């Protein structure tokens, strides 16, 4: 059994993100006709696991709306709450301290930490590289990958985000599409290899209905937040 590194150094994480941009954009293009909400799961051999790709569409949007939502997601760890995702407890965000210039396509990179309550006995803690990638006009990709580092919280279980994982925002006319692409082995219920096997079995047997419903609920909440002007109120001030 082969499983990917659960966490990598910052340079490796950034290289993985950039290498996956063409693939992620091909998925975005493939599902650009979604008019409401769609959730799909598919096997991704390079990661040796399943990927969940959720799409939520909202009408009446423009470039300002796209940038507003992208900025909110980029800085989401700094919010007191994430209205589209109530599992969020708290987080922090720091600009990446890098000794080398970022690639042209990367407009900003951060180290982020966040805790989530998934209804398990202990919260789950993620330490990630978060990158603002602009692969095409009217498209923004907020890519995520778990990175090495000591956990800054106590009482939480470390969980991991693999590549490719990203929130991609694109425009098709006046329709804004949010592509929520998640690659994870599991929820850290067991040691890594056992956790991987458990979640793979549940997914193969189509017993991942709770996981799918979570993504669908998140997509619905995203639509509601957009139409109620929540993202405009949450947009951080220009740096």
Residue 164, preceding bond cis, omega within 30 degrees? yes
Top CATH class of 10-231 equals alpha beta
Residue 140: partners with Cβ closer than 8 Å, 6 or more residues away: 66, 67, 70, 132, 133, 134, 168, 169, 170
Q: What is the pLDDT of residues 7-33, one digit of tens each?
A: 999 999 999 999 999 999 999 999 999
Confidence of residue 78 (pLDDT cuts 50, 70, 90): very high
CA distance 47 to 237: 37
Domains of the chain, by residue range, sit at 10-231
How much is the pTM? 0.94
Q: Torsion-angle region of residue 55: left (phi > 0), alpha (psi -120 to 50) or beta? A: beta
> What is the residue-averaged pLDDT of the chain?
93
CA distance 48 to 2: 7
Percentage helix, strand, coil for the chain under 3-state DSSP, each rounded to 5: 30, 35, 35
Q: What is the pLDDT of residues 136-147, one digit of tens each?
A: 989 999 999 999
Cα 77 from chain centroid (whole Å): 12
Q: What is the pLDDT of residues 150-181, one digit of tens each?
A: 877 788 999 999 999 999 999 999 999 999 99
CA distance 141 to 126: 19
* pLDDT for 219 beyond 90: yes
């Amino acid at each position: 059994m082969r499983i990917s590194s659960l966490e990598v150094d910052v340079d490796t994480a950034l290289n993985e993100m950039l290498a996956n941009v063409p693939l992620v954009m091909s998925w975005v293009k493939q599902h650009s006709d979604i008019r409401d909400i769609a959730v799909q799961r598919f096997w991704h051999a390079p990661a040796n696991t399943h990927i969940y790709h959720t799409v939520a569409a909202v009408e009446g949007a423009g470039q300002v709306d796209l940038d507003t939502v992208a900025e909110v997601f980029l800085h989401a760890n700094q919010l007191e709450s994430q209205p589209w995702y109530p599992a969020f407890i708290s987080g922090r965000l720091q600009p990446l301290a890098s000794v080398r210039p970022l690639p042209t396509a990367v407009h900003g990179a951060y180290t982020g930490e966040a805790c989530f309550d998934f209804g398990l006995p202990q919260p789950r803690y993620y330490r990630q590289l978060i990158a603002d990638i602009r692969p095409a006009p009217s498209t923004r990709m907020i890519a995520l990958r778990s990175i090495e580092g000591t956990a800054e919280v106590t009482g939480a279980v470390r969980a991991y985000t693999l590549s490719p994982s990203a929130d991609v925002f694109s425009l098709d006319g006046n329709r804004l599409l949010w592509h929520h692409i998640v690659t994870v082995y599991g929820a850290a219920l067991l040691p890594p290899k056992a956790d991987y096997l458990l979640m793979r079995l549940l997914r193969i047997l189509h017993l991942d209905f709770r996981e799918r419903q979570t993504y669908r609920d998140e997509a619905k909440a995203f639509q509601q937040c957009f139409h109620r002007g929540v993202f405009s109120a949450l947009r951080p001030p220009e740096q």
